Amino acid sequence: MPLYQVIVLAIVQGLTEFLPISSTAHLHLTTWLLGWNAESLTFDITLHIGTLLALIVYFIGDWVQIVGQGLGLEVGHDGQLKQNRSLLWLLVIGTIPVGLAGLAFNKQADTTWRTPWVMGVMLIAVGVLMWAAEKSGLRQRDLSTLYLPDALAIGLAQALAVVPGTSRSGITISAGLFRNLDREAAARFSFLLATPAIAAAAAKALWDMHKAHELHSMLSAQFMVGVLVSAVTGWIVIAWFLHYLRRSSFKPFVIYRIAFGVLVLVLAAVKGA
């Protein structure tokens, strides 16, 4: 893949992975309309590693405290995390559903479900769900009051993210809002929960590259640039989005998802996809 295509798609990935608008749908639509071929193991691992690095760098302090407290150590100074010493195990439990969903539906997610029709419908459906979550959630709780039922509900929601067009952040933050978490707490837990899932996806992609004898491609300029661009863009988006949620609602993203979903369906009908 030419370097300019890698940069464009890495920016698209970084911008859309952490906003509740579906990175899969945006990447697919971009490559579909421009006639680019992004279906390669190297490109897949590039985006996974870039996304994972953005999460790890931004939340490294949280992870040190969460893991340390889960092992019985006194580390970190975040008040919400300090009051909930079981967060590590809640994250482990919450990750199980998406792991099982990935094992069960990975092939469908990469083939039969990866169509404009599925993505368009899911963009609209999850947009409506986000609107309902925004309207019904009481937003009275933070991470200090997050317990097993919350982790299970949000973890089950994350399992739906294997369906293209869903948006991992969109579906999990909505689940958190339905559980009456405030917007920032719901997003923060969503991103923490995404970290092991994305790490597992990256590990699988690395293993697939090893089996295909393609690990040498990780030394290319395209790979290095793609990882760097997606990681930096992703980090900026995480910081901006958490700041945004402290004072604003999901409404612009709901409108965008529904409009984008309708556009995808119209384009699919016109192009006969």
- Higher pLDDT pick, 39 / 72: 72
- Asked if residue 91 is part of any domain, the answer here is no
Instruction: State the CB neighbour count (10 A cutoff) for residue 30.
Output: 18
Q: Which two tokens stand for residue 143?
A: 């991470």
Give the pTM.
0.94
pLDDT tens for each residue of 169-184: 999 999 999 999 999 9
Could you report the per-residue pLDDT of 237-254, keeping only the tens digit for each?
999 999 999 999 999 999
Determine, yes or no, domain membership for 81: no
Domain for residue 189, yes or no? yes
> What number of other Cβ atoms are within 10 A of residue 74's Cβ?
8
CA pseudo-torsion sign 124, 243, 49, 168: negative
Look at residue 72 and tell me if it is in a domain.
no
55 inside domain: yes
Distance CA 110, CA 162 (A): 9
Residue 100, in any domain of the structure: no
Query: Does 109 map to a domain?
Result: no
Helix (H) or strand (E) holding 75: none
Could you give the CA distance from residue 251 to residue 114 in angstroms, rounded to a whole number?
27
Contact 54, 234 (CB under 8 A): yes
- pLDDT tens for each residue of 179-200: 999 999 999 999 999 999 999 9
- Domain membership of residue 110 (yes or no) is no
Instruction: Provide the residue range defining the domain that includes 229.
Output: 3-63+116-144+165-271
Count of domains observed in the chain: 1
